[in-house]
Homo-oligomer: A and B are copies of this chain.
Amino acid sequence: MNSIKIFCPASVANLSCGFDILGLCLESVGDEMIITKIEEKKIIIKINSEYDLTEDPLKNAAGISVIKMLEFLNFDECGFRIQIDKKIKPGSGIGSSAASSAGSVYGVNKLLGNPLTKKQLITFALEGEKICSNTAHADNISPLIYGGITIVRNNKTLDIVKINTSNSLFISIMHPQIEIKTKDSRKLIKRKVDFSESVQQSANLAGFITGLFHEDYDLIKRSCNDLLIEPYRSILIPEFDKLKKIAYSNNSIGFGISGSGPSMFSLTKNFEDAISVEKELQKHYIRKKISFKYYISKINNEGIKVIN
């Protein structure tokens, strides 16, 4: 096999109650990538995108990840051409750099006959994440590699667990067309938190996970609540509080900031509810003259996929 075409999905990290812990993989939103073996022993990045992205392999997330991976494997038999059809806007909060990082290592690993484990793929994808967001956190990468919803139990040891989710859940993304950089957004996080708030945040996460296992949507809704970060970060997102109210009054079972924003996610227990949330959220942003993109997706239980 000399060439592979893959779909690298967008992802939602945090999911309100699981800051730096939870991540979820989307099915209908993502980049496409074609990776091809080339004779020249180097990495060539080609990007097809409306966004201004570097094709320098030492500065692009996809390039860095693959370079580090090939160094580890001591592989120098050939080079790779990585062509990215970048659809996920950088800085949107739905894992644009994670898709590039995870997609490139996933694809090259396939072309080399899968010498690396999933955990190793995450290790090298993190090298790309580091370049783009100043933080090497696996919450966006993990759901791309494992599929579904993942828990980063420990980011240092990359102890990552996939949890099973109901097939009926839908996730919607409302993306206002402004940019928030992850590194700036992380500055809003307090270094110390109240013990009691820390306990309540944990209890919400416990409820959310149990709600997923029990398919108890009311429990998910009561639990999907972020006491520690949302109150600060949401200030940067236009009309956040109003949109949240609208979502919940239209049967959303979870609404919050996707990753470090500005995208927001809404969980619903079926497609019909996703549509009614979409209609009302869009109406509000149109009324307020705020431009946006909107996506509705199932949860992608497979993660990155090989496509034709």
> What is the interface of chain A, defined by CB distance below 8 A to chain B?
18-22, 151-154, 159, 161, 163, 189-195, 198-207, 209-210, 213-214, 216, 219, 222-223, 228
Contacts and interface: CB of A to CB of B under 8 A. Distances in A.
A161 B195 contact: no
**How many of these chains are in the complex?**
2
A217 to B, nearest CB: 13
A216 B151 CA distance: 14
Nearest to A159: B222
Contact of A21 (B153, B203, B214, B216): B203
Contacts of A151: 203, 206-207, 210
Nearest to A197: B198
A193 B192 CA distance: 5
Given A159-B222, A205-B206, A210-B163, A19 B191 contact: no
Given A194-B192, A195-B189, A210-B163, A201 B202 contact: yes
A203 B154 contact: yes
Given A192-B192, A195-B193, A206-B21, A200 B161 contact: no
Contacts of A210: 151, 161, 163, 209
